[in-house]
Structure 1
Amino acid sequence: MNDKIEILEKDRLDFINSLELLDTLPEGEFDTLTKLASKFLKAPVSLFSIVDENRQWFKSRVGFEACETPRDVSFCAHAITQPEIFIVEDADSDPLFSNNPLVTAKTKPVKFYSGVPIIIDGKYPIGTLCIIDHKPRVLSNEEKEILIGLGKQVEKLIELRITNLKVEKQQDELLKQHSRLQEFAGVISHDMKMPLANLIITSDILKKKYAHLLDKEGFKYLDYLKSSSLTLSDYIGNILKYYETEGITGQEKTTFDVYELLEEIIELLQHTEKTNIALPEDNLILHSNKAALEQVFLNLITNALKYNDKEVSEIEIECDEDETYYHFSVTDNGMGIDKKNIALIFDLYENLGNVDNKGNKGHGIGLSMIKKICVKLGGDIKVSSEPGIGTQFKFWIEK
């Protein structure tokens, strides 16, 4: 029997330690409840105590100077063994407490005590919410109900704390997993890039060196090998970009203008005379993460060019601002997006089966990446489209 009691007490103490409450700073939520107990029950002392192995420590206290007392003189150590409420109306006449140093103290002695056990998960009595008076008294039924009700509120706060701790631990684990996945993607992608580059170069060498030995089927297979290698290389590059967005969005803000940003991108794309790109009417001055914003525009403009089936590609870019956000839009006259696919367009690896104007399928990474960037920058992105007419992307980032 004694062994069983020791095991249960060990479980109780382990549970208390898991709460990460002992020896922490005061918290307003608990202080509010002890103040209410003192006020409504007209008690000079009110405590939320946690009964540790050798002490009772007070997470919240009203009218009591010490932050802890030894467990062997603790009233709360007895209260946690009770199913609901423990009352000592006159400590001087109670054989269990009459010689207790807290009762015989010359200043502010404990003459009355009433405590309700704080029981978590229906089985762990961690401490009490209690009131103390310096003179004997009797609690009415209404006062007992008030103390029990306030004790239930303390339990709810502890249960909420447990939920928050679980969420924090899950978030930490997700961040660790994400970091490991990011590292894995980087290593694998880097290691695959070189063999793919060798395949692309080798296919060109074979076509040139052994052209006289190859028939049409041979050229066809080499072209297929090169095309597949380029597709896979592009896919790996997009994976790397997706996981590198953490680094991009973490860069410091700088001051630059929209024209400067867009002209750099347009020069990089080297578009032909069959493309008209209309810049915003006003050259907005931005203070933001230039690299991240450049990545968003580069992806959207590239897509507007790739998924365009018109003789002349028309792209219109607009921007403005309000007190909180910079707002942007990229509108094209391209192929458009089927309405049933609009909801899926920002999902990672969702390519919708579309092919660009060169017959290549997308990988479903780019738009997911730019949504991730927009959200990281305190904004978001949305799309509207009409098949055969064109598409408009609107996005915004926090100033």
Structure 2
Amino acid sequence: MIKPQLPENESERLEEVKKYNLLDTLPESDFDDIANLIAKVCNVPISLITLLDKDRNFLKAHIGITENESPRALSLCGHAILTDEPIFIVENTREDIRFHDNPIITGNNIGFYAGVPLINPEGYALGTLCVYDHVPRTLTAEQKETLIILSKQVINLFELRYKNIVLNKTLSDLEERHQTLKTFANKISHDLKSPLANITSLSQLFKEELLQENAKTNLEYLNYIEESADTLRAYIDGILKHYKSEALLEKDKKQTTLQDIYNSIKNILGLKSSQFKLVKEAYLKDINSAALTQILLNLVDNGFKYNFKENPVVSIDYSETETHHVFIVEDNGKGIEQEKQDDLFELFNTAHDKDKHGNVGTGIGLFTVKTLVNKLNGAIDIHSEIEKGTQFILSLPK
């Protein structure tokens, strides 16, 4: 018996074998089906899908035998992965000096072997798709071709498995980074709010003292300080609301009414019925009420903040199709220019420079709205006319 030599790239080859996470795994139907098929095509009692580990031959699929591994030093597959030919065939193992006294051959009454190296896209022979028979024989050209074709399908399964491994790791890394960023944003946001409040308070006290000393004192720079603090506070509040909004998606669906949501928004924003109107009542079944409330709250709040008319009015209307709820939030404000509508839901994009209170918009609120809508598998559109008003049409699946 002659033991198989190790490939020149053995250390790199072993790393390639391990990256697929297939060693010591349980049987899988996809691999078993290929092994079973090739056994029938070649009319043999034994077929295997193997992976050559450091000291053993691991049998990922095995038809005709119960063992799931064998010593690599005795493995015919160890010889097969060294060949430069597409298929390694030993027509009579009992007369081949390399195998005639091999315990695997004598113990299992093996007379024939054929194996195709399983070569991955990086060029490494990982193992084999192979067949055994108890008697010396040959394979037809069609059987050889089928063996080679199915070996490529085995490699495709390996690669699909590896891509899933990479994808799962990427998703895990992204989730970890997301949680880290979320924790960081919450920590920094909360830590910044207190100093900002102190800046505003001290600025106001300083202004009061200056005015007491001299009523004509120019307070322009102190006003700039307060305005900057308010703008930064708005960004911080927007960031907090954005991250907290994701928790709303985890809320269970429930039955509610649009009237209840309307009343909730009305109370939160302190609005009057004359300025905030519900056009049509609706019974909402199996809907994420918390997420819907947050979406409509943001839209209604914007409808008032950026409405410069003397008598601002915002309304919520409702309609439905067989498959979707449709909510329409409409205001009588100044409208939004067409060129700004396309990017309105992008992060930090705003339709207006400042709201009616003189505060600079952050562009986080509508980004949060779009994020929630997308994750609810919904859609949101905008229709706006200058000096007439804006409509946001929100569609959510039932």
**C-alpha separation in 2, matches of 1:222 and 1:349:** 26
Q: 3-state SS of the aligned residue for 1:344?
A: coil
Partner of 2:392: 393
Partner of 1:377: 376
**Bigger Cα displacement from structure 2, 235-244 vs 357-366:** 357-366
- How many angstroms does 1:119 deviate by? 1.2
Q: 3-state SS of the aligned residue for 2:168?
A: helix
Aligned pair in 2 of structure 1 residues 47, 217: CA closer, same or farther (>3 Å)?
farther
The aligned runs of 1:212-291 (5 Å cut-off) are 212-214=212-214, 216=216, 218-272=218-272, 275-279=275-279, 281-291=280-290
Partner of 1:146: 146
**C-alpha separation in 2, matches of 1:397 and 1:278:** 18
Aligned pair in 2 of structure 1 residues 30, 350: CA closer, same or farther (>3 Å)?
farther
Aligned pair in 2 of structure 1 residues 81, 371: CA closer, same or farther (>3 Å)?
same
**Bigger Cα displacement from structure 2, 372-381 vs 176-185:** 372-381
Aligned pair in 2 of structure 1 residues 200, 32: CA closer, same or farther (>3 Å)?
same
- How many angstroms does 1:214 deviate by? 4.2
Contact 1:276 1:314 in 2 (8 A): yes
**C-alpha separation in 1, matches of 2:31 and 2:65:** 15
Aligned pair in 2 of structure 1 residues 259, 273: CA closer, same or farther (>3 Å)?
closer
Partner of 2:93: 91
Return 5+ residue gaps in structure 1 as ranges: none
**Bigger Cα displacement from structure 2, 324-333 vs 197-206:** 324-333
**Bigger Cα displacement from structure 2, 286-295 vs 120-129:** 286-295
- How many angstroms does 1:324 deviate by? 5.6
Aligned pair in 2 of structure 1 residues 176, 140: CA closer, same or farther (>3 Å)?
same
Q: 3-state SS of the aligned residue for 1:286?
A: strand
What amino acid maps onto 1:390 in structure 2? G
- How many angstroms does 1:287 deviate by? 3.1
- How many angstroms does 1:211 deviate by? 1.1
Partner of 1:104: 106
Aligned pair in 2 of structure 1 residues 206, 273: CA closer, same or farther (>3 Å)?
farther
**C-alpha separation in 1, matches of 2:282 and 2:133:** 73
Partner of 1:194: 194
Partner of 1:342: 341
Partner of 1:56: 57
- How many angstroms does 1:129 deviate by? 0.9
- TM-score, length basis structure 2: 0.89
Contact 1:274 1:311 in 2 (8 A): no
- How many angstroms does 1:191 deviate by? 1.1
Partner of 2:123: 123
Residue identity over aligned pairs, in percent, reads 38
Aligned pair in 2 of structure 1 residues 334, 44: CA closer, same or farther (>3 Å)?
farther
**C-alpha separation in 2, matches of 1:93 and 1:238:** 80
- How many angstroms does 1:236 deviate by? 0.7
What amino acid maps onto 1:260 in structure 2? D
What amino acid maps onto 2:335 in structure 1? G
Aligned pair in 2 of structure 1 residues 246, 46: CA closer, same or farther (>3 Å)?
same
What amino acid maps onto 2:233 in structure 1? S
1:213-243 deviation per Cα after TM superposition (whole angstroms, max 9, x unaligned): 3455623333332222122111111111112
Contact 1:284 1:320 in 2 (8 A): no
Aligned pair in 2 of structure 1 residues 6, 153: CA closer, same or farther (>3 Å)?
closer
Contact 1:45 1:133 in 2 (8 A): yes
Partner of 1:297: 296
Q: CA RMSD in A?
A: 2.6
**C-alpha separation in 1, matches of 2:128 and 2:76:** 10
Pair 1:21-2:22 in alignment: yes
Partner of 1:80: 81
Contact 2:230 2:359 in 1 (8 A): no
**C-alpha separation in 2, matches of 1:257 and 1:332:** 22
What amino acid maps onto 2:136 in structure 1? P
1:173-222 deviation per Cα after TM superposition (whole angstroms, max 9, x unaligned): 22222222111111111111011111222222223333133455623333
Q: 3-state SS of the aligned residue for 1:268?
A: helix
Aligned pair in 2 of structure 1 residues 337, 216: CA closer, same or farther (>3 Å)?
same
1:141-179 deviation per Cα after TM superposition (whole angstroms, max 9, x unaligned): 232121111111222222233233222222222222222
Q: 3-state SS of the aligned residue for 2:285?
A: strand
What amino acid maps onto 1:392 in structure 2? Q
Aligned pair in 2 of structure 1 residues 117, 253: CA closer, same or farther (>3 Å)?
same
Q: 3-state SS of the aligned residue for 1:123?
A: coil
Aligned residues: 393
Q: 3-state SS of the aligned residue for 1:193?
A: helix
Contact 1:330 1:392 in 2 (8 A): yes
Aligned pair in 2 of structure 1 residues 312, 289: CA closer, same or farther (>3 Å)?
same
